[in-house]
């Protein structure tokens, strides 16, 4: 029997992508979709690509509307899901695609987000290496799951194996990302207009101000020690996202100074050990680096590795679709694990080309 599913925040890009993937899931049946300003409208008016779900009518986003389902996905702006999910019954599996339940350190929440902190949930990046396991071990039978940030996934996946193996110095990490415009959400903003973004690229949230930084640090501390908040690992990263004229995708170029004695062979062995059995992470053969076009529409993250011998730095280039592996795909993958289903159920590996 299929699990009944509700998607809160179905009018946005993340909500729409959740519904696209859920529409073909063999074990989930979407019964309820909610929104705010679009209440009463047909889903197909907002997401005309969702042909099989288009006749669903958007309802008010409330605990009463969401309760009674087996599984609830929440795709609301940061700061909005915490008060709502606090009111949902314990027997409902809830996956939050926003940031409200990602950070284990309350001070980080107040510094980078502000407002009330609602506590951390099981973290939904299944492949993340921890000291002697993977993050998926913490997802089994979880009833509250926080899906990771899209930029975070691109950087954490790229650097975690090297950090876990002690092959890089963790106090000198640098990541520069090319990011598609859908990562900023669907709300109308002047800087997101086609006339503003087409033919241009611009850095934003420069100088250690981006909200995803504490989450990346948290991930890499887990990779370094497996002890989360009590970790003593000194993780320092200079993180700079660059908005580029594409609707989807993230290409992250992350570098780290090599530890004394670390070699390129050591690095490739560490990445093979970390991701060799993972269906949704691909490590490219030597000399090849991924492009965002290869992973669009896919739940796959692809990583290319090199060593800059003169600078003595690892260079890890990662590509993923911010709406799939970066958001909706990670949420569904985590829900599959929590419910004891095939981890890849409903999730595509093949990308869309051209």
Tell me which residues are annotated as active site: 150
Residues 6+ apart with CB under 8 A from 333: 124, 126, 280, 299, 343, 344, 347
Residues 103, 219: Cα–Cα separation, whole Å: 10
Alpha-carbon gap, residue 130 to 116, rounded angstroms: 29
Q: What is the 3-state secondary structure (H, E, C) of the chain?
A: CCEEEEEECCCCHHHHHHHHHHCCCCCEEEEEEEECCCCCCEHHHHCCCCCCCCCCECEECCHHHHCCCCEEEECCCCCCHHHHHCCCCCCCEEEECCCCCCCCCHHHHHHHCCCCCCCCCEECCCCCECCCCEHHHHCCCCCEEECCCHHHHHHHHHHHHHHHCCCEEEEEEEEEEEECHHHHCCCCCHHHCHHHHCCCCEECCCCCCCCCHHHHHHHHHHHHHCCHHHCCCCCCEEEEEEECCCCCCEEEEEEEEECCCCCHHHHHHHHHHHHCCCCCEEECCCCCCCCHHHCCCCCCEEEEEEEECCCCEEEEEEEECCCHHHHHHHHHHHHHHHCCCCCCCCCCCCCCCC
Strand partners, 72: 6, 94
């Amino acid at each position: 029997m299929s699990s009944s599913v509700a998607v809160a925040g179905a009018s946005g890009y993340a909500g729409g992508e959740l519904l696209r993937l859920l529409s073909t899931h063999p074990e989930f049946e979407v019964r309820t979709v909610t929104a705010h300003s679009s209440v009463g409208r047909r889903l197909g008016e907002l997401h005309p690509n969702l042909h099989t779900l288009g006749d669903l009518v958007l309802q008010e986003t409330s605990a009463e509307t969401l309760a009674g389902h087996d599984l609830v996905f929440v795709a609301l702006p940061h700061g909005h899901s915490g008060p709502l999910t606090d009111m949902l019954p314990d027997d409902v599996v809830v996956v939050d695609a926003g940031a409200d339940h990602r950070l284990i350190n309350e001070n980080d929440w107040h510094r980078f987000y502000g407002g009330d902190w609602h506590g951390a949930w099981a973290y939904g990046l299944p492949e993340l290496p921890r000291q002697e396991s993977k993050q998926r071990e913490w997802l089994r039978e979880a009833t509250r799951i926080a899906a990771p940030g899209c930029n975070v996934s691109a950087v954490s996946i790229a650097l975690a194996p090297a950090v876990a193996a002690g092959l890089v110095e963790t106090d000198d990490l640098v990541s520069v990302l090319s990011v598609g415009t859908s990562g900023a959400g669907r709300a109308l903003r002047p800087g997101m207009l086609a006339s503003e973004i087409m033919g241009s690229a611009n850095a934003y949230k420069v100088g250690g101000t981006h909200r995803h930084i504490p989450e990346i640090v948290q991930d890499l501390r887990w990779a370094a020690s497996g002890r989360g908040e009590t970790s003593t690992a000194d993780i320092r990263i200079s993180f700079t996202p660059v908005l580029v004229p594409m609707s989807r995708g993230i290409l992250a170029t992350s570098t780290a100074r090599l530890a004394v004695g670390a070699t390129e062979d050591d690095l490739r062995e560490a990445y093979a050990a970390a991701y060799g059995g993972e269906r949704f992470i691909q490590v490219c053969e030597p000399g090849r680096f991924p492009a965002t076009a290869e992973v669009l529409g896919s739940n796959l993250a692809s990583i290319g590795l090199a060593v800059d011998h003169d600078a003595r730095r690892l260079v890890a280039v990662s590509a993923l679709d911010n709406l799939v592996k970066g958001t909706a795909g990670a949420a569904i993958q985590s829900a599959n694990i929590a419910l004891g289903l095939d981890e890849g159920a409903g999730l595509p590996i093949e990308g869309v080309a051209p």
